[in-house]
Amino acid sequence: MRMTVEEVARAVSAKNDVSKYSDQVVTNAAFDSRRLKPGALFVPLTGKRDGHKYLPSARKNGAVASFWAADHPNPPKDFPIIVVDNPLKALQTLANYYRQKVNPKVVAITGSNGKTTTKDLTTAILSTKYRVTKTHASFNNAIGVPVTILSMNPDTQVLVVEMGMDNYGQLDKLSKIAEPDVALITMIGEAHIENLGSRAGIANAKMEITHGLKADGTFLFNGDEPLLQARAKKVSQKQLTFGDQHSNDIYPTQIKGYDTKTSFTVNRYPGKQFTIPIIGHYNVNNACAAMLIASLFSVSPEDMQKGLMNASLTQNRTEWMTGKKGEPVLSDVYNSNPSAARAVLKTFSATHTDGKRIAVLGDMLELGSDSKAMHASLAKDLDPKKIQSVYLVGTDMAALKAALADKYPTNAVHYYQADQLPQLTHDLEQELTSRDEVMLKASHGIHLEKVLAKITK
């Protein structure tokens, strides 16, 4: 991003005259006054705290201009201020303007599970041929998507944007800001079912990613999901599918799992083997989605091989780490829901170990009235012959503890409240040996990353 204050003001239809700052250039946009980069346009957001109060801090840390809500009194007179009705909406408007100015091809990715990994794999493949900007970490909401767009270098050729949601209307807005050339839904799970009522409601909300899809764009989705098959019929744009079923445009024909990577072949490229530096059958589907996107950009299968093998993946998504005793630790602590937890448990159960497999599972949040039953349902995915010890944390994990009573010895199931992470960590460290391996999976609100930090090097 590189724009003058005057250009920014025109783009967002500012309510004040900024012509005296016509030579002032902004090079990035930021909403956190503590972490902005020099040259920033500060965006004061109003939530639990009023961001306008932090403008002095933003200026101290290098901000060179700021939005200012018209209903806030006393804007500073010695600093480039751009007065707008709503700073967040102005940020979104500016992002849409800048996207049109740079004019990259836009790939938008959403889904209950796998959207971050698919984003990373897509970026890895496309980067073998194009200059790509992707969503940093999980900047995938109404604030993060505009910031991602504004972070593009002017020479960006492809923008890969991850889009998250927890209610209706959110993807509609994000899709219309980004106006994607390619829109992709990885899968429909149970995440945010508390807000959306059912998997059908989740599918309806996810389909909003197509609302800003360009008329000549392409809609990609998991063809194994009947909920998406039915809704895709209402989308007029070109469509391609991925998944396990042979009716899809791309599907795996053979999968070979290893402890730290997965190799596979697909129907579209017979005789070629692809490898991703991550485990799990479900991640092969994510790779197939990324390959399908890459095919739209005329990326060769050889470059797909290279990109997938060297992919740089976001932390804490099925990531292997090393414990303090040398034991392998499988970290997947960013988020969780029943379908994601089942997939990771299946993968973890098949890994090689000379000792015990130990699973640490925390509450899966926002599951609504059926939450306890959904937690208890994980009992069928836990086999004491494959996973010998289970640590559970959180209110609703008590239902899983009860469901495991007939499957596991009493001393093999350990239960903790969410505020007992220090005790969980202590007990886990007492049990672990260098021969064991451990996995951690929970919604981010349980903060298993604190346990992870204590048990890893």
Query: What structural domains and CATH numbers belong to the chain?
Result: 3-88 (3.40.1390.10), 104-309 (3.40.1190.10), 319-455 (3.90.190.20)
Task: Reduce the DSSP state of residue 41 to 3 states and report it.
Answer: strand
The CA distance from 133 to 420, in Å, is 40
pLDDT attached to residue 26: 97
pLDDT attached to residue 196: 87
DSSP at 368: G
Residues 235-276: tens digit of each pLDDT? 999 999 999 999 999 999 999 998 899 999 999 999 999 999
Specify burial of residue 426 (Cβ count, 10 A radius: 0-12, 13-18, 19+). exposed
The CA distance from 164 to 159, in Å, is 16
Feature table: binding site for ATP:
111-117
Q: Tokens 């349902």 label which residue?
A: 377
Strands 28-30 and 40-42: parallel
Tokens encoding 148:
């991602």
Residues 355-396: tens digit of each pLDDT? 999 999 999 998 999 999 999 999 999 999 999 999 999 999
Question: Percent of the chain beyond pLDDT 70?
Answer: 100
pLDDT attached to residue 122: 98
Count of CB atoms situated within 10 Å of the CB of 230: 11
* The pLDDT of residue 316 is above 80: no
Amino acid at 281: H
Give the side-chain half-sphere CA count within 13 A for 125: 30
Mean residue pLDDT across the chain? 96
Question: Would you place residue 190 in the very low, low, confident or very high pLDDT band (cuts 50, 70, 90)?
Answer: confident
DSSP string, 406-442: TTS-GGGEEEE-GGGHHHHHHHHHHH--TT-EEEEE-
Phi-psi region of 74 (alpha: psi -120 to 50; beta: other; left: phi over 0): left
The CA distance from 70 to 54, in Å, is 17
pLDDT attached to residue 317: 80
Residues 387-437: tens digit of each pLDDT? 999 999 999 999 999 999 999 999 999 999 999 999 999 999 999 999 999
pLDDT attached to residue 10: 97
Give the side-chain half-sphere CA count within 13 A for 5: 23
Residues 75-110: tens digit of each pLDDT? 999 999 999 999 999 999 999 999 999 999 999 999
Residues 102-119: tens digit of each pLDDT? 999 999 999 999 999 999
The CA distance from 174 to 359, in Å, is 36
* The pLDDT of residue 47 is above 90: no
Angle between helices 281-296 and 338-349 (to 10 degrees): 110
Q: What would the mean pLDDT of 154-165 be, rounded to a whole number?
A: 97
Give the side-chain half-sphere CA count within 13 A for 343: 21
pLDDT attached to residue 192: 78
Tokens encoding 140:
């995938």
pLDDT attached to residue 244: 97
Q: Tokens 């990531």 label which residue?
A: 319
DSSP string, 345-403: HHHHHTS--SS-EEEEEE---S-GGGHHHHHHGGGGG--TTT--EEEEESSTHHHHHHH
- Which pTM does this prediction carry? 0.91
Feature table: binding site:
111-117
